[in-house]
Amino acid sequence: MTMSITRLDAAAAARQRLALIDLLVDSVEHGASVNFVQPMTREKAARWWEGALLSHARGERVLFVATADDGHLAGSVQLILAGQENQAFRADIGKLLVHSSARRQGIGAALMQAAEAEARRLGRTLLTLDTETDSDGERLYLKLGWTRFGIVQGYATTADGTHRADCSFFYKQV
Ligand SMILES: CC(C)(COP(=O)(O)OP(=O)(O)OC[C@H]1O[C@@H](n2cnc3c(N)ncnc32)[C@H](O)[C@@H]1OP(=O)(O)O)[C@@H](O)C(=O)NCCC(=O)NCCS
């Protein structure tokens, strides 16, 4: 199956709303540490995406999606532009999500490469992110040349709610 990576404008993002909700629910149900604790619900995911899509429509973030040739949404990532006047060259990477049925096929890496290229184009040459320590996300960022500059112990409750996991903080100059 071939996959295309697309930057969505506000209208296209609104059309993908339900698929984006599904993607977030799927990730949390499969244990991803992306700010939610199970049980994950469509209501929680819808509330989160409502805020994110409003922010996207205001031009505060860039949204890329990976779409399979059958039209299914397989992944997404956001480039969140720092709003501070003195950090106009920085952005955060947020909510990199690949559907559990589509992992280990290079989609996460392709989404990250698209986000990094867009950051360069926008002059956002310093990128930052954080992710659960020893997670698939951490392995991906290390492979893509990100620098881990610290680990905070017990930073966030795991998706299954059992304990507090460590969090790794990364940056990359692009
Ligand atoms: C992290 C995530 C986005 C990776 O997406 P993906 O499409 O499976 O990643 P890719 O196939 O592009 O993997 C690229 C590289 O990352 C590393 N990697 C990714 N998943 C891995 C895993 N399960 N085990 C070991 N290495 C892994 C490998 O180096 C891999 O390269 P390789 O396949 O040639 O060995 C995906 O697992 C996911 O959506 N997880 C849940 C959400 C999440 O945790 N997001 C990050 C939050 S900050």
Count CB-CB contacts under 10 A for residue 35.
Answer: 14
Distance CA 79, CA 12 (A): 17
The predicted model scores a pTM of 0.98
- Residue whose tokens read 């995406």: 49
Tell me which residue has tokens 């990359």. Answer: 172
One digit per residue, pLDDT tens: the chain, 174 residues?
A: 789 999 999 999 999 999 999 999 999 999 999 999 999 999 999 999 999 999 999 999 999 999 999 999 999 999 999 999 999 999 999 999 999 999 999 999 999 999 999 999 999 999 999 999 999 999 999 999 999 999 999 999 999 999 999 999 999 999
Nearest in space to 172 (alpha carbons), one of 137, 133, 122, 120: 120
**Pocket-testing residue among 105, 140, 160, ligand 1, by greatest number of atoms within 8 A of Cβ:** 140
Is the C-beta atom of 136 inside 6 A of ligand 1?
yes
Q: Which pLDDT does position 94 carry in this prediction?
A: 98
Q: Is the CB of 97 under 6 A from ligand 1?
A: yes
Beta carbon of 16 within 6 Å of any ligand 1 atom: no
Predicted local confidence at residue 108, as pLDDT: 98
CA distance 36 to 31: 10
- The two tokens of residue 123 are 């002059």
Query: Cα(47) to centroid of ligand 1, in Å?
Result: 26
Give pLDDT, residue 1.
Answer: 74
